[in-house]
Amino acid sequence: MPDRRRLVPSGAARPTTRIVHLGLGAFFRAHVASYLQDLGGWGVIAVSLRSPDVREKLKPQDCVYTAAELAEGTIKTRLIEVVRDVLVAPKDQQAVIDAMCDPTISLVSLTVTEKGYCHDPATGELNWDNPDIVHDLTHDLPRSAPGFIVHALQSRRAAGVPPFTVLSCDNLSDNGALIRRVTLAFAEQVDPALANWISETCAFPATMVDRIVPATTDVDVATVTGLIGSHDAAPVMHEPFRQWVIADCFHNETFPPLDQVGVQFVSDVAPFEDMKLRMLNGTHSALAYLGYLVGHRTVAEAVTDPLFADFVRHLWTHEIGPTVAAPEGTDLSAYAETLMSRFANRGVAHSLGQIAMDGSQKLPQRFLAPIKERLRENQRCDGLILCVAAWMVYVSGQAGKIDVRDPLAERLSLASADPEKSVDNILALREIFEPALAEKLKVPLNQYYADLQQHGVRDCIRKVLS
Ligand code: CS2
């Protein structure tokens, strides 16, 4: 864009760095950073754990970028200036550790997606065979999120610096307990005394985060550039809604007073998290697999298809809703209707392919946990089982027609190579399915898998609704 001036900071004072954030995706920049921008005073060193792309775009514009709020027919832009520096972990490992060890850093937050926890999704335990964990246990400088956290805490302890708080902001059940568990397991291997110190002194509050943030496209870059009159190489697009609920386990100056900007500090995050993870993320994944197979490409497109809207409402009312112990005072059907209008927002082009990614890491908390509860109580959950079958069809890749992105993609493709045995082979993947649940799902999943191929998605949905 040689004819456009590059985006520059506004000139307002920038906040001092007090947070290191791992995982520089669009979600962090549209959610966590937007709250910090409202709050003021808390700057962030953002770390990309993999690709240097965003750094290359952000650094020339001094790490500022536009957050564009997408309502139907209108776009509101806002400059976000809380990111003070960007590091790329594979290249700047020591710099990342140094930043995390700086005594002025009191918080390390994470949006590294489900697979970034290097855990076994079926059990929630650290996966010792994860290649990043194998690497981190045999090298001085880490590359995984748990590896960076443990190395940095080890250096802080050695230097007599108190630990930072670790704040997981990913869509995982009991995310605080999960990051605590994988951190302690890793630390135990490095030095049991370190694990002990972490266990006694370091806080890992649970959180629930919510904002729909589609991946930024080239068209978005051009649109934002047109709106703001200068070239922003790294804008983020997001819906108007946002919510952040954090477990209230600290009352001191080491944690940003986010309650001043609408974040809820609560004693128990679980009801918020269960509700959001199952109602929102669960039906997102339902739409992703079933919708994709009939040719829909965005969430808004899928829910304006009446059969899909009915199916999502069926899941909320009859299968998922009954498993959710909503937070006190929450009307679950009103929550569901708000979700429907958020999904239907045509301003947000939220691609089903984006949501379908990493299904092996998402299935347990989105589909399998509610299925387990429904089966235990002898209640129907055929809609949810259909969603799992649709995921199985999706990950079979349909002879190269679907670009399956998943850390287990290779094993999923091998498992589904023989159409007669696909379901049983996929059910045998212990990282995803516990043996007892796999056994219970064998018959209905084989049935739905065959029905999906023979009669198609629409017939199967009609069968569930009938
Ligand atoms: C989505 C989430 O990609 C996905 O799996 O379900 O990113 C979803 O948009 C957010 O959790 C909404 O808060």
* Helix 369-376 and helix 382-395, axial crossing angle in degrees, nearest 10: 140
Instruction: Specify the pLDDT at position 318.
Output: 98
Q: What is the mean pLDDT of residues 41-63?
A: 96
Question: CA angle at residue 112 from 203 to 22, to 5 degrees?
Answer: 65
Domain ranges of the chain: 17-267, 271-465
Identify which of 281, 358, 361 to mutate to test ligand 1's pocket (most ligand atoms within 8 A of the CB). Answer: 281
Identify which of 284, 289, 303 to mutate to test ligand 1's pocket (most ligand atoms within 8 A of the CB). Answer: 284
Centroid of ligand 1 to alpha carbon of 447 (angstroms): 29
List the structure tokens of 355: 């949501």
The answer to whether 78 touches 69, Cβ cutoff 8 Å, is: yes
Instruction: Kindly report the average pLDDT of the chain as a whole number.
Output: 96
Instruction: Give 366's DSSP letter.
Output: I
Residue where the block lists tokens 């084989």: 446
Q: What is the mean pLDDT of residues 442-460?
A: 97
Instruction: Select 271-465's CATH number: 1.10.1040.10, 2.60.130.10, 1.20.1730.10, 3.90.76.10.
Output: 1.10.1040.10
Residue with CA at minimum distance from ligand 1 atom 9: 212
Q: Report residue 397's pLDDT band, with 50, 70 and 90 as the boundaries.
A: confident
Positions of E strands within 52-122: 65-71, 74-80, 83-88, 107-110
- In this predicted structure, the answer to whether residue 1 has a pLDDT above a threshold of 80 is no
Q: What is the mean pLDDT of residues 27-36?
A: 98
Local structure of 440: helix, strand or coil: helix
- pLDDT above 70 covers a percentage of the chain that reads 98
- The percent of the chain in helix, strand and coil, each rounded to the nearest 5, is 50, 15, 35
169-224 per-position pLDDT tens digit: 999 999 999 999 999 999 999 999 999 999 999 999 999 999 999 999 999 999 99
Residue with CA at minimum distance from ligand 1 atom 6: 281
- In this predicted structure, the answer to whether residue 100 has a pLDDT above a threshold of 70 is yes
- In this predicted structure, the answer to whether residue 251 has a pLDDT above a threshold of 90 is no
Instruction: Give 259's DSSP letter.
Output: G
Q: What is the mean pLDDT of residues 361-365?
A: 97
Going from the C-alpha of 167 to that of each of 53, 106, 153, the distances in angstroms are: 25, 11, 14
Identify which of 29, 172, 355, 406 to mutate to test ligand 1's pocket (most ligand atoms within 8 A of the CB). Answer: 355
The answer to whether 65 touches 77, Cβ cutoff 8 Å, is: no
Question: CA angle at residue 415 from 414 to 419, to 5 degrees?
Answer: 105
Measured from the CA of 358, which atom of ligand 1 is nearest? 5
- In this predicted structure, the answer to whether residue 39 has a pLDDT above a threshold of 80 is yes
Q: Report residue 4's pLDDT band, with 50, 70 and 90 as the boundaries.
A: low
Local structure of 110: helix, strand or coil: strand
Instruction: Specify the pLDDT at position 448.
Output: 97
- In this predicted structure, the answer to whether residue 3 has a pLDDT above a threshold of 70 is no
Identify which of 70, 171, 320 to mutate to test ligand 1's pocket (most ligand atoms within 8 A of the CB). Answer: 171
Dihedral over Cα of 11, 16, 19, 22: its sign: positive
Residue with CA at minimum distance from ligand 1 atom 4: 355
Instruction: Give 278's DSSP letter.
Output: I
- In this predicted structure, the answer to whether residue 252 has a pLDDT above a threshold of 80 is no
Neighbour count for residue 141 (Cβ, 10 Å): 16
Q: Whole-angstrom Cα distance, residue 238 to residue 463?
A: 35
- Dihedral angle computed from the Cα positions of residues 298, 303, 306 and 312, in that order, rounded to the nearest 10 degrees: 130
- pLDDT above 90 covers a percentage of the chain that reads 94
Q: Whole-angstrom Cα distance, residue 293 to residue 256?
A: 44
* Sequence-separated (6 or more) residues with CB below 8 Å from residue 399: none
Q: What is the mean pLDDT of residues 239-249?
A: 95
The answer to whether 433 touches 122, Cβ cutoff 8 Å, is: yes
Per-residue HEC secondary structure of 283-335 comes to HHHHHHHHHHHCCCCEHHHHHCCHHHHHHHHHHHHHHHHHHCCCCCCCCHHHH
List the structure tokens of 105: 């850093």
Q: Whole-angstrom Cα distance, residue 146 to residue 118?
A: 8
Question: What's the one-letter identity of residue 225?
Answer: T
Centroid of ligand 1 to alpha carbon of 218 (angstroms): 21
Residue with CA at minimum distance from ligand 1 atom 1: 355
Instruction: Select 17-267's CATH number: 2.40.70.10, 3.40.50.720, 3.30.70.360, 3.10.350.10.
Output: 3.40.50.720
Centroid of ligand 1 to alpha carbon of 443 (angstroms): 30
Measured from the CA of 31, which atom of ligand 1 is nearest? 13
113-138 per-position pLDDT tens digit: 999 999 999 999 999 999 999 999 99
Centroid of ligand 1 to alpha carbon of 355 (angstroms): 7
Centroid of ligand 1 to alpha carbon of 256 (angstroms): 25
253-266 per-position pLDDT tens digit: 789 999 999 999 99
List ligand 1's pocket residues with C-beta within 6 A. Answer: 171, 210-212, 280-281, 284, 354-355, 362
Burial state string for 272-293 with b = 16 or more CB within 10 A and e = fewer than 16 = bbbbbbbbbbbbbbbbbbbbbb
Q: What is the mean pLDDT of residues 411-425?
A: 93
Centroid of ligand 1 to alpha carbon of 281 (angstroms): 6
